Amino acid sequence: MEVKLLFVIVVALVAIDHSDSNEIILDGCRGECYGVEVPYPFGIGNSNVGTPCFLEKSFELTCNNTISSLTLGNIPVISINIYQGQADMLSYVSKYCYNSSGVSSTTTDITLTSIRSFTISSKDNKFISVGCNTYGYLNSFYNNTEGYSTGCLTRCYGNNMEIHDGYCSGIGCCEVDIPPRMREISTIAGTFDFENFTGPLDFNNNCSYSFVVKNGNYTFSKEHLVNLPFDTSTVVFDWSVGNETCEESRSKGTITCKGNSTCVDADTGYGYRCQCKKGFEGNPYLHGCTDIDECKTGQNSCVSDHNCHNTNGSYICFCPKGQSGNGTKEDGCHKKNVLPHIFIGASAGFIAILVGTCLLYLTYQKRKFFKLKQKFFEQNGGLILLQKGKESSHTKIFTANKLKKATNNYDEKLIIGRGGYGTVFKGVLENDTVVAIKKSKIVDAGQLQVEQFINEVIVLSQINHRNVVKLLGCCLETEVPLLVYEFVSNGIHNENKRNNFNWENRLRIATEAAEALSYLHSSASIPIVHRDVKSANILLDEDYTAKVSDFGASRFVPVDQNALATMVQGTIGYLDPEYMQTNQLTEKSDVYSFGVVLAELLTGKKPFSFVKLEENTNLATYFLSCLKEDCLFEALQVGILNEGNKQEIVEVAIVAAKCLRLKGEERPSMKEVAIELEGIRLMSKCHWVNNGDKNFEEIQHLLPMSSSSEKYEHGDSSSGSHQNTKYDSIIKDQEVLIALPSGR
């Protein structure tokens, strides 16, 4: 009875996590080609929904119907092993033949320099040369320059007595090891004076052969001296993912190894491989590895499978009722001695004590868990929220269990964005509502983190605007605080979608974003400065309605104050130069950042380039210089300009230039910007604006006038050259705290 109780306790303490998925390919992708299985991270083309079937471009394969083979580039692939990180491919044999008609030769090149993920395995291949009076070279190349060579030779001198089938000993056949880390090679076969050689061997065709072949895939025969019976050989390639080590990828959050797997640096000097942990199997690059049931597969050391209990990643051996021992084949099980009744009674008493102790322990744990939730509530700013009860009364409080279930225990596959203050997950609540859940990062000095989190709750709870992302609620009873938002599926920071936006959509999105910022500055009970206005924080719903998001850095500006003294915070390329110099945050700082967004929508360029060779690293400077030099239309993104919208584009460019003035007092307010953009939209709907008889040359003449009279009338404060010098000096001299986009 004691053994049974202990067994139940042990089983209760073991967490079993089985996964139903043993898939090795992505959904909607082709899983094989001419009998060859194609496991992820490899893939053939795109899925039936248009997404790539491969992890990265170097793993894209082709099902070549012309040669009835699966190929990587132009190399046929015959098998792929995701557990050992290897792939078997075919390579041609190099030949050098001599007969009465003359000499013929072929050289084999294996070129994978463009696919650095693949390396010829030095452990699983051999370089072999076959023939009499034969030599073979294996040359390696790096960047089209010869690196190093190896090879072997064999001479028979007409003596066939020492040539034996099955032995590649150096007479008739020779072999050498493959040097490590070879990606691009050339094999060459040659002969020693075949033309003058005569001997007792009767060769119908005097040929020499050289090739790389997988260990064990070739057995020498004397008949091969007359004719080698194959033209291709199997070669083993080692492959790896990524282009950094495990540690570097893990620190950047780009590692692809999934659950129950480990990361191993590739010994080829490039990237890494993923391997399932002991006791697990599956595809570590796709759904992760699942538990192996050792009790069903016979991979256990128990007396029998009936004496085996499977656990997550391992198993437990036990003895049948009435026997004692550890249940393994080594020690086995033994029959118990009949215990006196006194020991049975003592056992019953012990069990009663044990049960009572367990109940007390469970009660203690429950109280401890309750206190821990209270601690997290206070630690995550719950008391601050209670003190601000009126401001946050409309905020719903979610339990940790509901949000954990909504995100499938915060599955990494549901991550839709990462930012300076946390990670955003896509989740589905019990009522099938799709939400975005922001999980803040854990930091040692957590007070600033808590203030940022509570600040965002308080700011968003007061906002009710169609162009501002809606806060649904929060959760404070976990170690990491959580915010729950409405889910917005798109963003103008998505490069593919942004390139497809026509001018009308861009103008509408800019107008809606301006209206949202105008609301924050002018209509909220206390003016709110967003402080991180950028294209990544302007999201689009299903109807492509703009919604401003991410208020983690936002600040209230009391009615009796015009500016706040704060540590400079924002995203490089969007930061207000005046704010960076003075640390004085005003509503005009958002206006400057919005001007950069307008320049992005017009030019399609990034706000700041970190490439040293890039001519125009700062978009604001570049954009203003284009206006000054009358080359606006040359700077526009290809595809948005047409005969009907030239004047609208000029007007929007003028608004952007006003926003980008260096002095905050010279910039318009967001309310004025929103009114101007709405006016331009209404103007575009009027028939006279699209009149083909409108003289475009007159409109173009407005640009330099506007540039000089409107945008540059304040002298050096807004000149392109001055701003460039000023901005560069600020970047060098001012330490700026950059908050990465949260992706929400």
Nearest-angstrom CA–CA distance, 419 and 549: 12
What residues pair up with 177 in beta bridges, in sequence order? 126
Q: Where are the alpha helices (DSSP H) in 400-468?
A: 400-406, 446-461
570: left (phi over 0), alpha (psi -120 to 50) or beta: left
| CA atoms in the 13 A half-sphere facing the CB of 574 | 24
What residues pair up with 614 in beta bridges, in sequence order? none
Nearest-angstrom CA–CA distance, 162 and 311: 59
Tell me the three state secondary structure of residue 39. coil
Active site residue 532: yes
Cβ-Cβ contacts under 8 Å for 423 (sequence gap 6 or more): 415, 417, 438, 439, 441, 742
Q: Where are the alpha helices (DSSP H) in 407-550?
A: 446-461, 495-499, 503-518
DSSP category for residue 54: S
DSSP category for residue 93: P
Nearest-angstrom CA–CA distance, 595 and 660: 6
Tell me the three state secondary structure of residue 494. coil
Query: Would you state the structure tokens that stand for residue 475, as one six-digit string?
Result: 């959760």
Q: Which of 124, 291, 532, 550 is catalytic?
A: 532
- Going from the C-alpha of 706 to that of each of 145, 651, 699, the distances in angstroms are 57, 9, 11
Number of other CB atoms surrounding residue 128 within 10 Å: 23
Q: Measured in whole angstroms, how far is the alpha carbon of residue 85 from the centre of its chain? A: 20
Number of other CB atoms surrounding residue 355 within 10 Å: 11
Query: Would you state the structure tokens that stand for residue 253, as one six-digit string?
Result: 């959050």
Nearest-angstrom CA–CA distance, 433 and 710: 49
With beta carbons less than 8 A apart as the criterion, state whether 262 and 279 touch: no
- Going from the C-alpha of 460 to that of each of 38, 131, 465, the distances in angstroms are 48, 81, 10
CB pairs under 8 A, 24+ apart, for 694-700? 694/647, 696/643, 696/646, 699/646, 699/647, 699/650, 700/630, 700/646, 700/650
| 125: nearest Cα among 81, 79, 67, 178 | 178
Number of other CB atoms surrounding residue 364 within 10 Å: 10
What residues pair up with 690 in beta bridges, in sequence order? none
Q: Label residue 73 exposed, middle or buried (CB < 10 Å: 0-12, 13-18, 19+).
A: middle
What residues pair up with 109 in beta bridges, in sequence order? 186
Nearest-angstrom CA–CA distance, 456 and 551: 5
588: left (phi over 0), alpha (psi -120 to 50) or beta: alpha
DSSP category for residue 570: E
Q: Where are the alpha helices (DSSP H) in 519-629?
A: 577-582, 587-603, 619-628
Query: Would you state the structure tokens that stand for residue 692, as one six-digit string?
Result: 């083909």
Nearest-angstrom CA–CA distance, 82 and 61: 15
* Residues annotated catalytic, as ranges: 532
